[in-house]
Amino acid sequence: MLLLLLVCVPLFYIWRLARGRNPWPRIFLAGIARLAGVRVIVSGQPVVRGTFLLANHVSWIDIPAIANATGAAFVAHDGLAGVPLLRWLCEMNETVFVARHDRSTIARQIAQVREAIRDTGSLTIFPEGTTGDGTTLLPFKSSLLSALDPLPEGIVVRPVLLDYGAEAADIAWVGEEPGLENFQRILARGRPVTLTVHLLPPLTGEALANRKTITAAARDALAARLRDSVSG
């Protein structure tokens, strides 16, 4: 992984001179997923430019997998920005940091998110706000979708289910397990991780009325698909 980083970083900065969409963060994250033994299967129509993705959250694997499948950037809490190495890596992929509890900066954060959608083409947020066990969904926080209320013109909203199948509970990063231990535990597995990224159909009609209806409709769509996966 370190070798991959050392190869991708110079190419990232060289490509940056062209001022186009930089492919190297996606290449790096896709490589991280493969090196971690993750087999990503993508189900659904490709993501188009101007898409806001709402995904369930199970593991750190989610981020390289979604980046691999869609090329999307991410919305992350500002706690990550306090770790210099993580901040540097996140900024390369045009991550938008938000301060969830700083209401005085909400207007600025909404503007940042909307600008990021225009610049990156697609943006991913985890409405649960934390990781779950992969077999059920936690409550979705509509406050995290303030940038979609009202929905900017031309923006498509799509739910994304990250499905780890029967091994979800073993993969999930929950409880008091430190992040580094979870990372090492995943890498130490003797068999690959199979993750299906279900790109569900875009929300339409009344589901897009406001952030609360968007949140409820996205969660319902993910819950239905997750039930089908568990029962199947």
Does residue 181 sit within a domain? yes
CATH number assigned to the domain comprising residue 194: 3.40.1130
Nearest CA to 188 out of 37, 64, 13 is that of 37
Q: Which amino acid is at 41?
A: I
Does residue 15 sit within a domain? no
Give, for 9, the enclosing helix (H) or strand (E).
helix 2-16
Does residue 149 sit within a domain? yes
Does residue 88 sit within a domain? yes
Name the more confident of 109 and 28: 28
**CA separation (Å) from 142 to 91, 211, 219?**
25, 6, 11
Encode pLDDT of 118-160 as tens digits.
Answer: 666 788 989 998 889 888 999 998 887 877 788 888 889 999 9
Does residue 125 sit within a domain? yes
Does residue 160 sit within a domain? yes
What's the pTM?
A: 0.86
Encode pLDDT of 63-72 as tens digits.
Answer: 999 988 888 8
Name the domain count of the chain: 1
| Percent of the chain whose predicted confidence (pLDDT) is above 90 | 33
Q: Where in the sequence is the domain holding 156, given as residue range(s)?
A: 2-6+21-231
* Distance of alpha carbon 88 from alpha carbon 31, whole angstroms: 18
Does residue 13 sit within a domain? no
* Distance of alpha carbon 171 from alpha carbon 166, whole angstroms: 10
Encode pLDDT of 32-55 as tens digits.
Answer: 989 988 999 999 999 988 899 999
Enumerate the β-bridge partners of residue 193: 38
Neighbours of 57 (CB within 10 A): 22
Does residue 190 sit within a domain? yes
Enumerate the β-bridge partners of residue 163: 196
Name the more confident of 174 and 196: 196
Rounded mean pLDDT, 166-192:
85
Band of residue 3 on the pLDDT scale cut at 50, 70, 90: very high
